[in-house]
Structure 1
Amino acid sequence: MTQPRKPSQAQDSKTSAPTGADLMPDNLIAPASDIFDLPAIRADLFDSFPDGAEETEIRKITVAKLAEARDIGRQVIADALATDPFGARRTTRAYTWLTDGMVRLTFEVATKRLHVLNSATEGERLSVIAVGGYGRGEMAPFSDVDLLFLTPYKITPWAESVIESMLYMQWDLKMKVGHSSRTVKDCIRLGGEDMTIRTAMLEHRYLIGDAPLADELDKRLLNDLFKGSEREFVEAKLAERDSRHEKQGQRYMVEPNVKEGKGGLRDLQSLFWITKYVHHTDDTSELVRLGVFHPEEYEKFVQAERFLWAARCHLHLAAGRPVEQLGFDMQVEVAERMGYTDKPGRRGVEWFMQDYFRHATAVGDLTRIFLTSLEADHKKAAPLLERLFKRRPRVKAGFTVVNGRLAIADDSDFLADNRNLLGLFGEALRTGLLIHPDAMRLVTANLNLIDDEMRNDKDAQKQFLDLLLKHGNPERALRRMNELGVLSAFIPEFAPIVAMMQFNMYHHYTVDEHTIQVIQHLANIERGEVGEELPVSTEIIKGGINRKVLYTALLLHDIGKGRDEDHSILGAKIARKVAPRLGLKPKEATTVEWLVRHHLLMSDMAQKRDIADPRTVRDFAKAVQTVERLDLLCVLTVCDIRGVGPNTWNNWKAALIRALYRQTRRALEDGMEALNRENRGTEAKKLLRASLPDWSSTALRKEAGRHYPPYWQGLHITAHLVFATLLREISDDEVKIDIHPDEDRDATRVCFAIADHPGIFSRLAGALALVGANVVDARTFTTKDGYATAAFWIQDGDGAPYEAARIPRLKTMISKTLMGEVVPREAIKSKDKLKKRERAFKVPTSITFDNDGSEIYTIIEVDTRDRPGLLYDLTRTMASSNVYIASAVIATYGEQVVDTFYVKDMFGLKFYSESKQKALEKKLRDAITAGVKQANS
């Protein structure tokens, strides 16, 4: 076995980050004189002032000269950063150098030309101090300039005039200045009352003016404000951090905030602030000498800071303004600026974001380590759990409890058995304790002990499965194991998806975090927390299921992502190797492989096919084969969709999955004849008669006889009743509309009864597109006496049903469109535009023809970029080609949409001819291309 290692205890770091005190000309990304040559610009500026010039003229000349110098300097910095894309630290210093020069010269102009003071009194002293990030010497291209104008006593008219003139010039220079005018006494008092002010003062830096006054501020802050209040400051900064994380979202959200998000620059800056406050140094490398960080941990600090600052600088430059959210529209350009390129299977932007999330994770690890050292020094309160419970939980031999966290009693004994690297996480789940960062460090330093021998050890396999199955909250252990590298060490095939981002608007998390979220959703079902929301899944779990198979399948379902090959096929191949290695029996491993290979099958069938068509259910039942597989796949599908992100799961998807499950189970248990169309039609007619007791037998016979068989099995009884009422007294020139909320499906159902004619589906789709409705499902049927009955399920722009108060206006607008008062295509143009953040996505178009998925229709599936007018363009193209559309199913995945149409040709036949298919496909592609051009214009 490889010799165990303990974390390095060396006291010196090879790499040292620049500090707030080293803003020197040789620490910039370009020569200081090229960025802002202060002596030369000063000489040129003062030589430019005419004798006897008025204040307005002097300010105007100053602004013009400094604006020219600023623009030159900014271009020099931007060019240098383009050459050295990761030279962010020196870039932030360069922007600070440039800003310092402008601030100093505006002060000199104000004091030497505009408000000259021949004999200054003791009170007429003024010192200009940089505070906050500017004081620290870290500025992104469009960072704020925070200034403190320091006076010894109450501000004098002279100082007020100088400050006012400086600010006018700086505002004219488009500098975003935040400023305050205070005495030393004010700074101490306000810093004691407001932690934000205190933090800004912590990073103050003298710029120009009265130096002794600035020195006095230094001493008074240290002695009268900072000393003795370390614990108060630390607690305030940590509370501020928690609040910020809650507001910004988790570390693995795919559009992170580089500055404020979890694992972002503000978290690193919090470590810097606390270091300076507690240890009285602004050199973070001191944390190595103090024993807080090991050298390799500090190296992570440096690399994370370097990467995050580079990303922020490039983000500002790409946007041309102070943007902090790394949105989809900016990610591609920032990735290109930082040198990331596309590779087989993955785009450069995805490689860039994977690095981003890895650095964000490192920041979280460093924060935990740092806070532990503060607890040990009593600068931070112990965890809340330890304060709430006096009695410590009893832990197994080899473990102990330190500051309320699970710790290792003896490092050498622990490392003597490599299975303890898994046992630590099991004990944490059993006791409910958080793991002590020192224990985490020991694990991280000894990942090499997790070798093939351990992976194939039955006890180790059992320990891992117990983490999934035994304690009821496996996501807690998996997330920590993933962050520390244990999960990838024990399952090496998992490593490629760690921090992997999928560049689309559908997935909200990285692939590894999505996997853990999915497992968490299964645990929630098992704990009975979502019984009302997920009755079928809860019922399946209660009825008994192979939990080992299901948890393993969820863990591995996306493990094949990020390669050239279909991730389901590759994932199944990987599962074939990994499942036995996790201790599953051959039959169980085979089921896991099948589930991974087909983990999208139920979702696709439910969302992309017409589940009212018996053939859909029959084909799905043949693919699933057994009730056991159906149960497993159903729960997996539900967890997978729910784990995509907040609000992805809704009643619409729930209704589709539920209906497909129940029909398929019935077919598997009672035989395929249970899906017979005629049986379902007979039952539907009986239900209609029972629901209309006031109708005469003649009226009932007429209604029952006017529809073809597909109508009866394609709609629910509630729709049958609506159409019966609409058709009862309809005339050929009427358009009858019923709009009603369908609460079970999170949608609004719109029923149309209208005289049948070619292209009716397209007309209806155009009317709905014009009012801004998103169609999620649609059915059209023709009656024997020449009418069309169409049911559309729609949602508003936010993916929600229309509120009852909006329905009357919606109905009026639809009616006007259908009566020809508005031409849909022309009116839709203004609505059919892509948002800026959507334009970065590449969505290839795929069009397929399937003649086997339905007994009487050809299924045309169009997979392309979503946009408001797409459905209308597609249906209008089909109408002009004499294609009859019976139904449409729309499945949206962020910026991608799959529109599935059940169609016949003008003779009522399927599209068997390859030449006809190719001709129609070309027309559809042309319509999509034209629409995309319009949307991007």
Structure 2
Amino acid sequence: MTSTDQPSEYAAARARLLAEPGLGGVARRTALSRLADDWLASLYAAAGAPSGTALVAVGGYGRGELSPRSDLDVVLLHSGPIDPALPERIWYPVWDGGAALDHAVRTPAEARAVAAEDLKAQLGLLDARHLAGDPELTAGLRSQVLADWRATAPKRLPELRRSCLERAERHGELSFLLEPDLKEARGGLRDVVALNAIAASWLADAPRDGLEAAAARLADVRDALHLTTGRATERLALQEQDQVAARLGVLDADILLRQVYEAARTISYAGDVTWRSVERVLAARSGRGRRVSRLAFPFTGVGRGSGAVARGVVDRRPLAEGVVEQDGEAVLAQGARPGQDPVLALRAAAAAAQAGLTVGYATVRRLAAEARPLPVPWPDEAREQLITLLGAGEAAIPVWEAYEAEGLITRLLPDWERVRCRPQRNAVHRWTVDRHLIETAVKAAAMTRRVARPDLLLVAALLHDIGKGWPGDHSEAGEVIVRDVAARMGFDKTDTDTLALLVRHHLTLVDTATRRDPDDPATVDLITKVVGTLPHLELLHALTEADATATGPAAWSGWRASLVRGLAERAAERLAGGSSYPADAEPTAEEERLAVEAGRTGGPALTLLAQTQQDSFATEPMGVELTLALPDQPGLLGTVAGVLALHRLTVRSAGLRELDPVGAGPVLLLSWTVAAEYGELPEGARLRADLRRALDGSLDVARKLAERDAAAPRRRGIATPPPVVSVAPGGASSSATVLEVRAHDAPGLLHRIGRALDAAGVRVRTAHVSTLGADAVDAFYVTDPAGRPLTAERAREVAVAVQAALG
């Protein structure tokens, strides 16, 4: 064929390839690349190119990944002077054939100089592939470019990272967009190029499981988009999605989007893992980080998070039982056994999120491979750890994404599979269904101080749209599903009913407020009949706001917020009255025995009863029932709580009340459930001895805690809602003033509260302490020294003092 008929023959051959039935995907892209290779080689030969020149494919064409409308990216290399008309003799037939061409003419030195200044050009040259001419010229350039890239990686990789972040900011996250850019959005094909460039630097490599398949899926969708539109577009617009799905043999556009989203998440997660590895390597090279061996090979399963000890790794700080912080990530402790500890996966996730960390890649992989299913119903600790994870707010998202990438979320919550990656074809929604649920939980985490049951708020936020994807009204379907999920999680009937109510009516408050007359008494009646109680109303109000703010700006405005708030306030007035805290039960025989002993001896009397998980995997006690009787004295609550904190015991729940068993003066009875932060539980004799020393003044608890805190390394942690200390309405108790404290749980929290109450000069007559996930919800029934309720002014002063003590 002559140079004049080549363009038409190439176009015809290309058209036949695109129309060939059964040819698609990688095979078609490879065939298109080979066809272009042969054509350009013939043009190069027909142009009479002399020795010392070479035609080189770069970029996507260099990788052999030609889509139907891709550009032909080529460089004409030359080692010396060439005929100025030579390039035109090659380029003009390409233009005549209607092919898109991106071209350059350079010496190897010029190509390297351009690459040194232009990151995009350097990335393109990393994929250089010889087409025609002098192969040694191409090989030499490729070798030099790779050497340059590896030598300058500490400088160029941060530049590449910035460009990825800027691109994500401009184009958004492919995983959640209704009209995603398949190439430029975060998780798109451009990120795959970046990951390959990182691998070429030899500093780190991406986790490869599923990555090639994900990239191929996005490329297949782009090919179908090009054929459908006849244009070189990267944006999968709504009006083309059905045709693209049909061309790919996919049932409908929703399934197509789910496949796109799943691929994008695989790529995004690989990017997150890889960039963290790059950051560690560069920090170690610059002396800013700890030296850790095997950094160039972080995905071998040895060292980080695998339970093995890599040479040079010495800094491992405990986070929770079986979980430590190492090199800025949460990993498994050396003795951790996922196969014997079914709660370990949730404990690691919660500990990581609360510390503002993510879980190491190798650790997540090991948990996915070895963790045993949770028993049904879940152990109490598993439920608490899930709530603690959700309560971490924004910090929970990267942990959740890592677990979802390895299939751990659907293993914990099988119903999650139906909402995973499910698109929402509504312009109001910013997210897919599953991400919207997590975002709602994040918003709810900032509202936990507004409700008496933050645990139920967080779980309801996570599950409120779980019915989407099922036939019928998603709220009705969700109510059925959440009853089953709540029972599997181990919630009792009362809490399960509450969760079902919240899911069934999560739209009722906003719909009623915006569609009914707010001044009509029947409107308030409708809401009070739905919720039934004031605590339910508080939960529904917070869930409504969290749901709307997580949906997107169009779903929540100042006008809507004021309507919902006004309706909730009027309903609250109708429902107000009474205390939500339970009355004290009659003392048991053991509690009476301890009270008599304490009254007779004047010292502490206690029992420690180990409480194990009710399943075959239990290897250690999950907590201890601590019953303690002591003669009443000032500062007792803070002192006892401080001793427990010194022994690294966290208070899960606690009750405090007065008894007078022998008529010799009041005895305080404390019935607490405590658990070890990590490690083993203390011996009862040692705990009893420290309590005696603290009570007689020979052990300065506050000083010891301060010394320990000062010596401990500072951990970044997470931002949490500020504590709220309030005075309950007068009807809460007729004989005492009730102070309600809602705060983020932390070591020594109850100690600080007790010291603040003691410093305020009030007596704690009764206390109800609950730790729900990472939130403490406490009520203290206090009186003045004479045993009378506080005046309103005095109660406000005490509340302010306690809040100040909590910071």
Gap regions ≥5 residues in structure 2: 292-313, 578-807
Q: Where does residue 136 of structure 1 map in the other structure?
A: 63
Matching residue of 1:902? none
Q: Give the corresponding residue for 1:152.
A: 79
Q: Which amino acid in 1 is paired with 2:243?
A: E
Aligned residues: 554
Find the aligned partners of 1:382 and 1:414 in 2 and give their Cα distance: 35
Determine what percentage of the aligned residue pairs are the same residue: 27
Unaligned runs of 5+ in 1: 1-42, 47-60, 112-116, 280-286, 342-347, 527-540, 671-937
Q: Which residue of 2 aligns with 1:238?
A: 161
Alignment partners' CA distance in 1, 2:167 and 2:507: 36
Match of 1:312 in 2: 222
Q: Which of 2, 6, 11 is the aligned partner of 1:70? A: 11
CA separation in 2, counterparts of 1:604 and 1:372? 44
- Counterpart of 1:336 in structure 2 is 246
Measured after TM superposition, the shift of residue 202 of structure 1 is 1.1
Q: In the alignment, what sits opposite 2:366? A: 442
For 1:557, give the aligned amino acid.
H
- Pair 1:493 & 2:415 matched: yes
Paired with 1:379 and 1:208, the residues of 2 have a C-alpha distance of 43
The aligned residue for residue 211 of structure 2 is 301
Change in CA separation of 1:382 and 1:661 when aligned onto 2, cut-off 3 Å? farther
Say whether residues 1:652 and 2:559 are aligned partners. yes
Q: Is the 8 A contact 2:359 2:399 kept in 1?
A: no
Q: How many Å separate the matches in 2 of 1:550 and 1:570? A: 19
SS of the counterpart of 1:180?
strand
The equivalences for 1:817-856 within 5 A come to none
Who is 2:492 aligned against? 585
Match of 1:570 among 449, 471, 477: 477
1:229-263 deviation line (CA, Å, top 9, x unaligned): 34444433333323322222234323322112222
For the residue of structure 2 that corresponds to 1:633, the secondary structure is: helix
Return the letter of the residue paired with 1:631.
E
How far apart are the structure 1 equivalents of 2:433 and 2:288? 32
SS in 2 for 1:69: helix
CA contact (8 A) 1:611 1:660 kept: yes
Contact 2:250 2:256 in 1 (8 A): yes
Contact 2:17 2:32 survives alignment (8 Å): no
1:170, CA displacement in angstroms?
2.4
Which amino acid is the alignment partner of residue 175 of structure 2?
Y
> Taking structure 1 as reference, are residues 647 and 435 closer, same or farther at Cα in structure 2, changes over 3 Å only?
same
Distance, in Å, in 2 between the alignment partners of 1:324 and 1:251 is 12
Contact 1:135 1:204 in 2 (8 A): yes
Matched residue, 1:168: 92
Task: List per-residue Cα deviations over 1:720-763 (Å, max 9, x = no partner).
Answer: xxxxxxxxxxxxxxxxxxxxxxxxxxxxxxxxxxxxxxxxxxxx
SS across alignment from 2:330: strand
Q: 1:608 to 1:511 in 2, by over 3 A?
A: same
- 1:349 pairs with 2:273: no
SS in 1 for 2:106: strand
1:321, CA displacement in angstroms?
A: 0.9
In the TM superposition, residue 652 of structure 1 has moved relative to its aligned partner by 3.4
Q: Secondary structure at the match of 1:413?
A: coil
1:91 lines up with 2:15 in the alignment? no
Aligned partner of residue 175 in structure 2, secondary structure? coil
Task: Map 1:220-619 to 2 at 5 A.
Answer: 220-223=144-147, 225-255=148-178, 256-278=180-202, 298-341=208-251, 348-371=252-275, 394-396=318-320, 398-410=322-334, 413-447=337-371, 449-453=372-376, 455-469=377-391, 474-475=396-397, 477-526=399-448, 541-542=449-450, 544-611=451-518, 615-619=522-526
Cα 1:316–1:244 shift into 2, 3 Å: same
Q: CA RMSD in A?
A: 3.3
Amino acid at match of 2:158: E
Q: Give the direction of change, closer, same or farther, for the CA distance of 1:277–1:482 in structure 2 (3 Å limit).
A: closer
Quick check: 1:508–1:644 contact (8 Å CA) kept in 2? yes
1:260 match: secondary structure: coil
In the TM superposition, what whole-angstrom CA distance separates every residue of 1:802-843 from its partner, at most 9, and x where no partner exists? xxxxxxxxxxxxxxxxxxxxxxxxxxxxxxxxxxxxxxxxxx
**Structure 2 CA distance for partners of 1:178 and 1:476, relative to 1, 3 Å:** closer
CA distance in 1: counterparts of 2:437 and 2:395, whole angstroms: 14
Q: How many Å separate the matches in 1 of 2:553 and 2:8?
A: 46
Q: One-letter code of the match for 1:432?
A: G
Contact 2:175 2:260 in 1 (8 A): no
- Which structure 2 residues correspond to residues 481-880 of structure 1 after superposition, within 5 A? 481-526=403-448, 541-542=449-450, 544-611=451-518, 615-666=522-573
Per-residue CA distance 1:69-121 (angstroms, 9 max, x = gap)? 314423432444xx35xx4112221222233244334434433xxxxx8xx6x
Normalised TM-score (structure 2): 0.63
**C-alpha separation in 1, matches of 2:430 and 2:19:** 32
Kept in 2, the 8 Å contact 1:96–1:134? The answer is: yes
Q: CA deviation at 1:613?
A: 5.5
Q: Residue 103 of structure 2 aligns to a residue in which SS?
A: strand
Kindly provide the CA deviation profile for residues 405-461 of structure 1, in whole angstroms up to 9, marking residues without a partner as x. 2222337634432221111112213433332211111122235x12435x5222222
Q: Which moved more, 1:265-274 or 1:297-306?
A: 297-306
| Distance of 1:576 and 1:660 partners within structure 2 | 28
Q: Are the equivalent residues in 1 in contact too, given 2:214–2:267 (CA < 8 A)?
A: yes
CA offset digits 1:9-46 (Å, max 9, x no partner): xxxxxxxxxxxxxxxxxxxxxxxxxxxxxxxxxx3x35
- Relative distance call for 1:266 and 1:78 in structure 2 (3 A) is farther
When residues 222 and 619 of structure 1 are mapped into structure 2, their CA distance, relative to the original with a 3 A threshold, is closer
* C-alpha distance in structure 2 between counterparts of 1:459 and 1:383, whole Å: 40
Separation in 2, partners of 1:622, 1:268: 54
1:330 aligns to what SS in structure 2?
helix
Using the size of structure 1 for normalisation, the TM-score is 0.54
CA distance in 1, matches of 2:323, 2:396: 20
Could you tell me how far 1:380 is from its partner in structure 2? 8.0
Q: Is the contact made by 1:425 and 1:477 (CA closer than 8 Å) also made in structure 2?
A: yes
C-alpha separation in 2, matches of 1:472 and 1:243: 21
Cα 1:221–1:486 change in 2 (3 A) is closer
Q: CA separation of 1:430/1:184 partners in 2, compared to 1, >3 Å: closer, same or farther?
A: same
Structure 2 residue identity aligned to 1:445: A
Give the Å deviation of 1:270: 1.9
Counterpart Cα distance in 2 of 1:67 and 1:602: 67
How far apart are the structure 2 equivalents of 1:602 and 1:176? 56
Contact map agreement 1:398 1:414 (CA 8 A) in 2: no
The 1:212–1:485 alpha-carbon spacing in structure 2 relative to 1, beyond 3 Å, is closer
Which has the larger share of helix? Answer: 1
String of CA shifts for 1:474-522, please: whole Å, max 9, x gaps: 4454444334332222222222211122233332211110000111112
